[in-house]
Structure 1
Amino acid sequence: MDENPKMTLREALTQAKPVVSNLFGRGSRDRPEILGVRPVTRITRWDDFCMKTLNDEYGPLLDREMSASACASVPKAESELFDIKIRKLTDIPHLIQWNDKMVNATLSWAKDECELCPGLELQTNAVVPNAISSSLDHWIALDNVMLQPLVNGMAWLSSTIKTRKIFNGVNELSNVESRPLQQLAYISQRARYGYIMTDRDLLVCRFSKAPSGDNFEVSLMLVPWSASGSSLTTDLAIWWLCMKALSEKNRELQSARNNDFWELIYGATDEDALQNFHYDSK
């Protein structure tokens, strides 16, 4: 039996992941103090970060069969995530490590397939289990120190950060409730895209500069860890953020505006359209 059967990019990114067991104990709530915040003055929902938009932008690419070598590098959820138990914050890196392996397998293939940023290799760094610091827990970038990171991630426990309350109450958050967003904005090295990973959800973040001062605005989408199949999954979400950031126009931190436009990216011929980049200018 072929241990690495062919699969499409979509199949790789929509695997059903095992349920994560939450076994929180005393003393499990806090992460090392981050010495600084970036004021976030406006929080909104990123409503078009959804499957319809994703399919409009990248449907043909997602349904393309990956190469044999790429398929072989795709992590398998049933083995990589088997029997993971989250007892404390330093267990969340098991999920960060999964994110990192999936990004390296699928983004590298898609980047080459679309001939994006030729000559620059993908670089990532992911925190290991039992090692949470006061900095980023996941860093995804191109091998060029002059460029902003593509996507940054932080780990939190669902008992500490109420991602669903944040998402459902974007206009009514206290300073304490929005502090994780302010911390991510502060340590993200002015990257436009980021995420917060908990044992329950992925909170997708798109930052922009507020109209005045040095403050930030952020748009959010919440993706359940348990999503699979035809739903927007955490793996699709992180991959999509990275693909957006690979577009030079998307990578730069933008001022908050109200206009979006589409940028067609073609393959060898005009008939071989690989995807549409949705240029987020808000």
Structure 2
Amino acid sequence: MKIYSRIGNLIMIVLLIGFIGLTGILTKTDKTKPVSDNWKQELKEQNASMQKEIKKEPVMKSHYERNIAINEYRVTQNIKPMDTKSQWSFIGESPDAIQFILIFTIIVAGGMVASEFSWGTIKLLLIRPVSRSTILASKYVSTLLYALLLIVITFVFSWLWGGILFGFELSPGTHLSYADGKVIEENMIWHMWKEYGFASILLLMMATFAFMMSTIFRNSSLAIGFSIFLSMSGTVAVQLLSKYEWVKYILFANVDLKQYFDGTPLTKGMTLNFSLAVLAVYFVLFVALSWLVFKKRDVAA
């Protein structure tokens, strides 16, 4: 596939692997102390401190209550906190790499169609005995498969680097989450892939948006630059506008589906089904605009 023959795309894969390794080395050399044998007493002291902080910072009440509940559950159920310098703790942080994968995927999506016009290869592409819809769909699917490859690479190399640096572990351990006022035990692997899934929603939407921009404007710089700008600033803008009821119709107010599982929706009236419907509308709009423009475009010039 052409997407894997481009040096830039291969370099991004190498950079991702290098970033994971560098993160592991920094974690390894960090001076954070391992979890002590007296961890139960330390958690009780943390809870006492957070109880005082609630009175000082009422706005952070839900955050502190969540941490207090999890700490209390650990103490009563004898579930020791995971050492930060362990293989599965390191793997558990790997979904954060989605931010890099997002940028890399936008770069690929933004140039997927626009580059064919700038290189003058679009005519050669369109003379093939396949429809324009098929050509566009194949390019879009290739973009998503590239993103999926980056996610798989992130998991595999997080596991590998984590094992090399901290030692290989057979048991992934237990993750504790907090929802609807109660603590829930989850398998670490299941929790991690859920985090990948939540983070990939923004990845999917922005990759589709960048692909649409590339198709409509035939300018990869515009598609890439504007898409990265939106992905970086969209969430911040939504937080600033959260006091307005109409903010719930903005794309970035709905990409974080984790808010419903944590019991902290952005505004009242927002539900999981509502956000899924909004995301579906935006997705169909982006795909439809890409298809209509590419289908009708005159490439004689």
Q: Note whether the superposition's TM-score is higher than 0.5.
A: no
After TM superposition, the score normalised by the length of structure 2 is 0.26
More strand by share: 1
More helix by share: 2
